[in-house]
Amino acid sequence: MSDLFVKLHSGSTQIKFESLQVGTDALVVTDSNLSSRLSSYQPIVVPAGEQSKNLQQYGSILDQLSARGAKRKTKLVAVGGGVIGDLVGFAAATYMRGIPLIQVPTTLLAMVDSSVGGKVGIDTHGGKNLVGAFYPAQVVYVDVSWLKTLPQLQWACGMAEVIKYGLIMDAELHESLSTSPMTEMDERRSSEVIRRCIELKKKVVEADEFETTGYRAILNFGHTIGHAIEKLTNYEQYTHGEAIAVGMYVESIIGEKLGLSTPGLAKEVAAILEAHSLPTNSLVLKDVEHIIQLMRGDKKSVRGEISMSLVTQIGEARLVHDIPESLVREVLSAT
């Protein structure tokens, strides 16, 4: 497969569909679930899990970089899921005011989403992804053979984002996933679908790198409600993909009720999610007051109003502001 190039103001990324090649001037960072497979690189190892995307692990990576003699031209190679990509990316963005970053995404989510677009960062007590930078990797090595060992739950989580791309931007992708659900890794098809998703993300981030026009916000379909669900359950009960699956379904109902989405959209969304073992409902939605409060604090909201990216018809989406609270309340209570 030929390379893709994502051209951003903050730097350009070459996406290679092959396995990692590292020279001698590189340091590898990975998580504790993957480190045994990378022992020949003597990697810096971070405990697996979202709780590692914090100031302490960030500081520890910086200390290990200086202890190992990292210089301005040393390449920092992040091998792992979105947690490693974001954490190590932020270390690369700030160590000596920026050293070259290479990403090797090993989860489906990291391949189709987090390794492309330049966002890196960590969580603090104040919130998730609260501190970060735009710092695109110079090279991303997409090697689908990593996915052979990915647990089913993580696969489904990545598929939620893949399904999202079809719904917001690519009716043909949606049709293919609806007709023949991608419930497990199949090297040829997975490679094609992952490449397609990267092309779609490239299109969005090149057009609205810094989220100034509202276009990049279409990637947030399902995320207004999804993020509220994640926060209310302390990021413990649902994977990100499961939370946004519920979000995509409920936001489709809201879109239909507003008359902005084609009738029947929510039913279609429910069908594709269920075919990929993803949920469409959560008891947390019954906590209507809290969900609404969290939605008003969402980053897409300009003045505390409710904003969502909604699918107008399959393959198209747009950011909608000032969604009536009464309608959201009605939908949440009835779901």
Alpha helices, DSSP H, located in 17-148: 55-67, 82-94, 108-109
Task: Give 110 or 182: the residue with its C-beta nearer to ligand NAD.
Answer: 110
Is residue 220 at the binding interface for ligand NAD, with CB under 6 A as the rule? no
Of the candidates 63, 67, 119, 130, the residue with the CA atom closest to the CA atom of residue 90: 119
CB-based burial, 228-238: b 16+ in 10 Å, e otherwise: bbbbbeebeeb
Residue at 144: amino acid letter: V
Among 13, 57, 103, 107, binds ligand NAD (CB under 6 A): 107
Contacts of residue 271, Cβ cutoff 8 Å, sequence gap at least 6: 178
Is residue 81 at the binding interface for ligand NAD, with CB under 6 A as the rule? yes
Is residue 279 at the binding interface for ligand NAD, with CB under 6 A as the rule? no
CB-based burial, 295-304: b 16+ in 10 Å, e otherwise: beebebbeee
Is residue 50 at the binding interface for ligand NAD, with CB under 6 A as the rule? yes
Task: Give 47 or 264: the residue with its C-beta nearer to ligand NAD.
Answer: 47
The least distance separating ligand NAD from the CB of residue 204, rounded to whole angstroms, comes to 11
Is residue 43 at the binding interface for ligand NAD, with CB under 6 A as the rule? no
Among 154, 224, 280, 282, binds ligand NAD (CB under 6 A): 154
Residue 290 · residue 262 · CB < 8 Å? no
106: helix, coil or strand? coil
Among 38, 57, 80, 308, binds ligand NAD (CB under 6 A): 80
93: helix, coil or strand? helix
Is residue 33 at the binding interface for ligand NAD, with CB under 6 A as the rule? yes
Task: Give 157 or 266: the residue with its C-beta nearer to ligand NAD.
Answer: 157
Copy the structure tokens of residue 180. 């023949």
> Catalytic residue positions?
97, 119, 161, 201, 211, 216, 220, 223, 227, 240
Is residue 223 at the binding interface for ligand NAD, with CB under 6 A as the rule? no
Would you tell me which residues interact with ligand NAD (CB under 6 A)? 31, 33-34, 48-50, 53, 80-84, 86, 106-107, 109-110, 113-114, 117, 119, 129, 146, 149-150, 154, 157, 240
